[in-house]
Amino acid sequence: MEEEINKLIDQRFLGNSLLDWAIALGIFLVVLLLLRVIQGVGLRRVKYMAKKHKVRRVTPLLDALDRTMFLVLIVIALWAGSQELIFHKNIERSIKLVAMTAFFFQCGIWAVAYLNSWMKIYKQEKLTTNIGAVTTLNAIGISIKMVIWICVFLLLLNNFGVDITALIAGLGIGGIAIAFALQSILGDLFASFTIVVDKPFLVGDFLIIDDYLGSVEHVGMKTTRLRSLSGEQIIISNSKLLDSRIRNYGRMFERRIAVVIGTIHQITREQIKMVPQIIKEAIESQEKTRFDRAHFKSYGESSLDFEYVYYVLSPDYNIYMDVNQAINLHIHERFEKEGIDFAFPTRTVFIENAVRIEKPEEVKRSGS
């Protein structure tokens, strides 16, 4: 019986005995279990630190560990178990390359997950204090992600035996040809960096660009996205955006208002003098305004024109409309009280020394 067991154990499969395969399987299971335990303990430990010390900065590490792929752990455990076995050099190299590919791919996932989580926290902290930093971070974040995956790709090529130095030199030469083929894309890319550095607008600013208007939602590597007042999203390429004339209401600290109103010509001189005072009183009665001037401007065809200028001490459009409405109602009430009538398009025709023109029949009759 013992001899039969020994013969069974000594049987070989792919150049390794059953005992070797059993040991390799045991190593695979132990390593896989350890990796899962380390992952679970690490997650619990980080969660405990974040909860006990209320440290939000730990959250990116927690999110990164949570993105660990179980398939990658299996590949690493298989590689560890295969070290107990003897294979052909090509098979051993293939197993090693698969394990390294899985490991570097997982490192890329960890790095991107950590970056995304950190950017989310940073945006929440800076959204109310430094919106410019949020706009800058969007473009920088995309660049960092590209660098991460390029590094992963180059490390994999290096492990596959590819000469990275020659590849980089070749990419430099080929990059010139690609640059000509991708002029518009590269133009948008450089325009995005111009927006990041120069900051002509920030996330949240309200812009008017030619016939389009909306609030900035996102500044990407190729396009900038606005949310219009009617709700739809407007997408404009960065290069065309910078070539346009942009009216940025997000940088407005106060709003200047110039208005012309008209009265009829028949009001008295005393009423004319009274109109600028009524306008000034109407403006100064509002809290968020600063009066500038009010004057009898000109004689119109059907009105006496008065121009007044004031400032609303807030960039908010709704506040401006509320103030404008209150001023208009105040002026209307005072005009009604003082008997001052608003002008409307009229034309008065005066006829003097009217001459009666005789009809041709009457002329003939009188001549005869």
Query: CA 136 to CA 122: how far, in whole Å?
Result: 12
pLDDT < 70 stretches in the chain: 1-17, 46-47, 49-58, 88, 125-139, 163-164, 166-186, 347-348, 350, 353-368
Whether domain 191-251 has CATH 2.30.30.60: yes
Query: CA 36 to CA 331: how far, in whole Å?
Result: 76
Specify the CATH number for 255-338; select among 3.40.50.150, 2.60.120.480, 3.30.70.100, 3.40.50.720. Answer: 3.30.70.100
- pTM equals 0.47
Model confidence over 5-36: pLDDT tens digits? 555 555 666 666 677 777 888 888 888 888 88
Within the chain, all domains assigned CATH 2.30.30.60 are found at: 191-251
With vertex at residue 226, the alpha carbon angle to CA 224 and CA 227, rounded to the nearest 5 degrees, is 155
Model confidence over 227-249: pLDDT tens digits? 998 889 999 988 888 888 888 88
Within the chain, all domains assigned CATH 3.30.70.100 are found at: 255-338
